[in-house]
A and B are shown apart, each in its own frame.
Chain A
């Protein structure tokens, strides 16, 4: 069963004083997320990521289209018991402590009273918040609030979690911890859907990604495939600053950095290059197949014209 099926969700706002000018925040979106995967929803700021998430949460009503979450209509209130949501830059009731907040949320999510206390402590430990008993949320730092946000999203052990910019406000150590957490969630069999504009995190974590820009889906696919070695190139790295003439003759692009040279060659030229280096007694450091970074793919998709992008996007992203 697909964890999330977005079937043409669309949002147009009417702006202007007389509400005449339409602003298309999201063009009709078709997207499927499978159970058990970590799915990244990528795009620059203002692309429509948060709008999509808010529509799925029922906070904003779509102009058209529907969605199914865990097999049920997205508007079904019961479905909410099985999902968790971390909004962007969350803010909580100032005067409660983290424990009280989680207790309240636990009540609303239907976590039975006898389990609540135990679960709250468990989840707080998991997000790395200790020694905060009795501290009111208004005294929490941004990073601490982010962790509380994650805690409340997973408190009731949902099958599917939605994170909107989960890394925002965290230092590198914190980000690593969150990445680890998300991996753990996946290992527990949960599905994670998160939006971000930090490609590095997406590349490290996601099974599949979708790229959205100016309200439109530009590309979808497995990270592996999207960053597959493009055009069969390799990168050869050797010590020194010299470039053997035979390698130059192969038409390689060479960069000298400090005491190393990096050269990009065609896969087929790999052996010839290695022979050349051995002949000149130059020390080979590494040979790596060249992969397109997600960033390059991302930038490429953003620059593509709208008409071609949508057809490519749906073609690549649809699963039977």
Chain B
């Protein structure tokens, strides 16, 4: 592995942590424990359902917000504040910078998710009093959420390689929302004709497909998840991120830094 990329990644991680990003875990912990206790009191036979749905949805949403805001900051802020000048005056290639930032951000989110996962399982134990074998699928759901983060990070980097921080955040968030409805977009496309159909189909394929990575309700109902799905989702997330990062590299390599 390229040493410089590793250094950039670890520095990014350190930046994020020092920037108090991990404090979001406190908010998350409060939310989840509050919900778990509340639901445990009410006891309407859907405690497990609520904890898993709420927990995993919160992991997903918190993570996306962090990914977008820190991800955007990564490149845009560095350019604005000119910390980038002293980095790029060293034997660092621009593409190494992008890739290093990506791994740093992804790593931060993975660590964040790890702690959140502990919280989710803790809350689950509290309401259900024991784990069942089917709970292992929660790990798969968490893994898919991390795959979602990879895609979001790569998109955040793509946008910040050429756009202002605010616009980048807006674009990234918009793509997250649209991507969550990717299946519906394909449905829309199927109902149109001609050129519109072509364009809508193209858009439907280009938009990140988060519907396939969202298995929260299936996991909540303890439905099994096939290994084929895991494999294909993994490949999809990796290729999509690679695509967005390639775009980011191509743009960033050509950018004049004011």
Q: Mark A81-92, 1 if CB is under 8 A from B, else 0.
A: 101111101111
Interface centre among B86, B91, B93, B257 (most CB of A within 10 A): B86
Q: A96 with B18: in contact, given A60-B257, A108-B7, A109-B91 (CB under 8 Å)? A: yes
Name the residue on A nearest B11 (C-beta).
A104
A 66-124 contacts with B by CB, 8 A = 77-78, 80-81, 83-87, 89-96, 100, 104-105, 107-110
- The answer to whether the Cβ of B221 comes within 8 Å of any Cβ in the partner chain is no
A61 interface hit (Cβ, 8 Å): yes
Contact B7 A93 (CB under 8 A): no
B129 contact set on A, CB distance < 8 A: none
Which of A51-59, A205-213, A302-310, A311-319 binds B? A51-59
Q: For A136, give the chain B residue with the smallest CB separation.
A: B18
Residue of A nearest to B254 (CB): A61
B88 close to A105 (CB less than 8 A):
no
CB within 8 Å for A85 and B89 given contacts A93-B15, A95-B15, A96-B14 = yes
Name A91's contact: one of B11, B82, B90, B258 (CB within 8 Å).
B82
If A57-B85, A92-B83, A104-B7 touch, whether A109 touches B19 (CB-CB below 8 Å) is no
Interface centre among A60, A94, A108 (most CB of B within 10 A): A108
Tell me the A140-184 residues at the B interface (CB within 8 Å): 149, 152, 162
Complexed CA–CA distance, A90 and B82 (Å): 7
Q: Told that A59-B257, A108-B8, A109-B90 touch, could you supply 17 new A-B pairs with CB distance under 8 A? A: A54-B85, A54-B257, A59-B89, A60-B258, A81-B91, A86-B86, A87-B85, A90-B82, A92-B86, A96-B15, A104-B11, A105-B87, A105-B90, A107-B4, A108-B87, A110-B91, A162-B89
14 contacts between A and B (CB under 8 A): A54-B257, A58-B89, A59-B88, A78-B91, A80-B91, A81-B90, A86-B86, A90-B82, A92-B83, A95-B15, A96-B14, A100-B14, A105-B90, A108-B92
Does B93 lie within 8 Å of A77, measured CB to CB? yes
| B256 contacts chain A at the CB level, 8 A cutoff | yes
Chain B count of residues within 8 A CB distance of the other chain? 25
Task: Decide: A80 near B15, CB < 8 A? Known: A104-B7, A107-B7.
Answer: no
Distance, CA A54 to CA B8, complexed state (A): 22
Give the residue of A80, A93, A100 whose beta carbon is less than 8 angstroms from that of B90. Answer: A80
A100 to B61, CA, bound (A): 32
User: Which interface class (under 10, 10 to 19, 20 to 34, 35 or more) fits A?
Assistant: 20 to 34
Q: Mark B61-99, 1 if CB is under 8 A from A, else 0.
A: 000000000000000000001110111111111000000
CA distance A312 to B4 in the complex (A): 46
Nearest chain-B residue to A91 (Cβ)? B81
Q: Mark A254-277, 1 if CB is under 8 A from B, else 0.
A: 000000000000000000000000
Closest to B3 in A: A107
* A108 in contact with B83 given A93-B15, A96-B18 (CB within 8 Å): no
Question: Which of A61, A107, A109 gathers most chain B CB within 10 Å?
Answer: A107
Establish whether residues B83 and A80, one from each chain, have CB atoms under 8 Å apart when the complex forms: no
User: Which B121-137 residues have C-beta < 8 A from chain A?
Assistant: none
Known: A87-B85, A90-B82, A91-B82. A108 touches B256 (CB 8 A): no
CB-CB under 8 A from B14, the residues of chain A are 95-96, 100
Kindly list chain A residues whose C-beta atoms are within 8 Å of the C-beta of B82.
87, 89-91
5 cross-chain pairs, A with B, having the tightest CB-CB distances, nearest first: A95-B18, A85-B89, A80-B91, A87-B85, A107-B7
Q: Which residues of B contact A60 (CB under 8 A)?
A: 256-258
Smallest CB–CB gap between B62 and chain A, Å?
Answer: 21
Q: How far, in whole Å, are A149 and B7 apart by their CA atoms in the complex?
A: 20
Q: Which residues of B contact A110 (CB under 8 A)?
A: 91
**Measured between C-beta atoms, what is the minimum distance from B154 to chain A in Å?**
23
The answer for the CA separation of A152 and B85 in the assembled complex, in Å, is: 12
Residues of B within 8 Å of A91, CB to CB, are 81-83
Chain B 14-32 interface residues, beta-carbon cutoff 8 Å to A:
14-15, 18-19
A155 to chain B, nearest CB (A): 10
